[in-house]
Chains A and B, each alone.
Chain A
Amino acid sequence: MTEQPHDWDAREDDASAPVRRELDALRARHRQDPPIDLLRAADADALPDDLQQAIASRLERDRWQRTLVDNLNDTTPDLDHAAEDRLLARIHQEAARDSSARVVRFPVVWRPILALAAAAVLVTAVVLRMHPPTTTPEPATTTTGTPAASPATPSFVLTLDKPDVRLTANALVRRGAGQQPKFVDDVAPALNAYRAGDYQTAEREFERVARLYPDAIEIAFYHGVTQLWLNDPTGAMSSLEAARRLNDETFAPDIAWYLAVANERAGNVAAARSELTTLCAGSSDYRARACDAVARLK
Chain B
Amino acid sequence: MAEFDAVYRAHVQSVFRFALRAVSNRALAEDLTAEAFLELYRRQDEIDVSRLPGWLLTVVRNKARDHWRRQQVERRYAEQEVDSELSEAPAIERWVLDSADLKPVHRTCLMLRYVHGMSRTEIAAATGLSETQVKGYLQYALELLRKSYQKGAAT
Q: A53 to nearest B CB, angstroms? A: 12
Is A77 close to B, CB under 8 A? yes
- One digit per residue, 1 when the CB lies within 8 angstroms of any chain B CB and 0 when it does not, for chain A 10-21 equals 011001101100
Of B24, B35, B41, the contact of A36 (CB 8 Å cutoff): B24
Nearest A-chain residue to B14, judged by Cβ: A78
A268 to B23, CA, bound (A): 16
Is B89 close to A, CB under 8 A? yes
**Contact status B127-A269, CB under 8 Å:** no
Q: Which of A86-94, A135-143, A186-194, A195-203 contacts B (4 or more CB under 8 A)?
A: A86-94
A213 to B42, CA, bound (A): 40
Nearest B-chain residue to A86, judged by Cβ: B30
**Contact status B31-A270, CB under 8 Å:** yes
> B115 — which chain A residues lie within 8 A by C-beta?
23, 26-27, 30
Q: Using A7-B119, A32-B83, A72-B126 as known contacts, say yes or no to A18 and B74 having CB atoms under 8 A apart.
A: no
The total of chain A residues at the interface (CB under 8 A) is: 76
Of B41, B81, B82, B129, the contact of A75 (CB 8 Å cutoff): B129
Of B28, B86, B97, the contact of A277 (CB 8 Å cutoff): B28
Interface residues of A in 14-43 (CB under 8 A from B): 15-16, 18-19, 22-23, 25-27, 29-30, 32-38, 40-41, 43
Of A44, A51, A61, A76, the contact of B77 (CB 8 Å cutoff): A51
Q: A41 to nearest B CB, angstroms? A: 5
Interface residues of B in 68-109 (CB under 8 A from A): 68-71, 73-74, 76-77, 80-84, 86-87, 89-93, 96-97, 104-105, 107-108
**Contact status A54-B67, CB under 8 Å:** no
Interface size class of B (residues with CB under 8 A): 35 or more
**Contact status A77-B18, CB under 8 Å:** no
Q: Using A11-B139, A26-B92, A273-B28 as known contacts, say yes or no to A1 and B23 having CB atoms under 8 A apart.
A: no
- One digit per residue, 1 when the CB lies within 8 angstroms of any chain B CB and 0 when it does not, for chain A 34-71 equals 11111011011111101100110010011110011011
Is B64 close to A, CB under 8 A? yes
> A84 — which chain B residues lie within 8 A by C-beta?
9, 12-13
Of B23, B82, B111, the contact of A32 (CB 8 Å cutoff): B82
**Contact status B126-A268, CB under 8 Å:** no
* Residue ranges of A at the interface with B (Cβ–Cβ < 8 Å): 1-5, 7, 11-12, 15-16, 18-19, 22-23, 25-27, 29-30, 32-38, 40-41, 43-48, 50-51, 54-55, 58, 61-64, 67-68, 70-79, 83-84, 87-88, 90-91, 94-95, 98, 259, 268-271, 273-275, 277-278, 294, 297
* Residue ranges of B at the interface with A (Cβ–Cβ < 8 Å): 5, 8-9, 12-13, 16-18, 20-25, 27-28, 30-35, 37-38, 41-42, 60-61, 63-71, 73-74, 76-77, 80-84, 86-87, 89-93, 96-97, 104-105, 107-108, 111-117, 119-120, 126-129, 138-139, 142-143, 145-146, 149-150, 154-155
Among all A-B residue pairs, the 10 with the closest Cβ atoms: A77-B128, A270-B31, A37-B24, A2-B117, A46-B22, A46-B64, A71-B108, A22-B92, A44-B22, A75-B127
